[in-house]
Amino acid sequence: MGDLVLRDATPKDAELILAYVQELAAFERLTQDCVATPADFRRFLFEEPRAGAMMAEWNGAAAGFALYFYNFSTFLGRPGLYLEDLFVRPAFRRNGIARAIFQALARKAVAEDCGRFEWSVLDWNENAIRFYRGLGAEAMDGWTTQRLTGDALRRLAAEG
């Protein structure tokens, strides 16, 4: 049995967070979409905070992380916690790290009176989907994610 430490990220973790995100992008076959920099994480996690991050260490080694932010449910009339990314390095998987991160974030959501805790998963990631079902999560059938990025986002912003 190993020693797991979960802690809030600090500005010194920006490079490690980027490394995790790049490893996650490779796993998700989305490397070409990963353009973030350590400066981006320093800015938006610490200088102008728009999100938070939790770091996981196993026996003193960097094992994984979670990056989250808050949204708002008009139907519930309260904030929700949205998990953007969770990644545990392959060498550290099957040690309960992901479950511990989910439990810590669930406690945070409950303590902060959030009405829900949500995340997305790629439809081909069957291992993750089974894990989430084991946590008690339910798929949001009927909902599809819509996204504007890059030129499409700038075009809409520039319209009259």
Strands (E), 18-114: 52-58, 61-73, 78-88
Positions annotated as catalytic residues are 132
- In the beta sheet, which residues pair with residue 66? 54, 86
Closest CA to 64 of 96, 108, 107: 96
Alpha carbon distances (Å) from 76 to 113, 131, 141: 11, 26, 19
Find how far residue 137's CA is from the centre of its chain: 16
Q: Two tokens at 104?
A: 């810590």
Closest CA to 66 of 123, 105, 124: 105
